[in-house]
Structure 1
Amino acid sequence: MFAVLKTGGKQYKVQAGDVLRVEKLDAVAGDKIQFNEILMVGGETVTVGAPTVAGAAVVAEVIDQIKGVKTIHFVKRRRKHSSQRTKGHRQQLTLLRVTEVLAKGADKSGIAAAVGTAAARRVAHNAAAAPAPVAEAPAKPKRAAKAAAATE
Structure 2
Amino acid sequence: MFAVIRTGGKQYSVSAGDTITVMALDGVAGDKVVFDEVLFVEAEGATKIGAPRVEGASVAGEIAEQARSPKTISFKKRRRQNSKRKRGHRQDLTLVRITAIEAGA
TM-score tier, shorter chain, comes to over 0.9
Higher-Rg structure is 1
| 2:67 equivalent in structure 1 | 66
Structure 2: any 5+ residue segments left out of the alignment? none
| 2:48 equivalent in structure 1 | 47
Distance 1:21 1:30 in 2: 15
Q: CA RMSD in A?
A: 1.0
Number of residue pairs aligned between Structure 1 and Structure 2? 104
Q: Choose between structure 1 and 2: higher helix proportion.
A: 1
Aligned partner of residue 27 in structure 2, secondary structure? coil
Shift of 1:46: 0.3
Structure 2 counterparts to residues 11-26 of structure 1, below 5 A:
11-26=11-26
**Structure with more contact order per residue of length (Cα contacts < 8 Å, sep ≥ 6):** 2
| 1:77 equivalent in structure 2 | 78
Shift of 1:78: 1.2
Distance 1:9 1:17 in 2: 22
| 1:114 equivalent in structure 2 | none
Structure 2 counterparts to residues 94-113 of structure 1, below 5 A:
94-104=94-104
Distance 2:91 2:56 in 1: 32
Aligned partner of residue 96 in structure 2, secondary structure? strand
Q: Choose between structure 1 and 2: higher strand proportion.
A: 2
- Paired amino acid for 1:42: E
TM-score (norm 1): 0.66
Identity of aligned residues (%): 53
Distance 1:54 1:74 in 2: 46
Shift of 1:83: 1.9
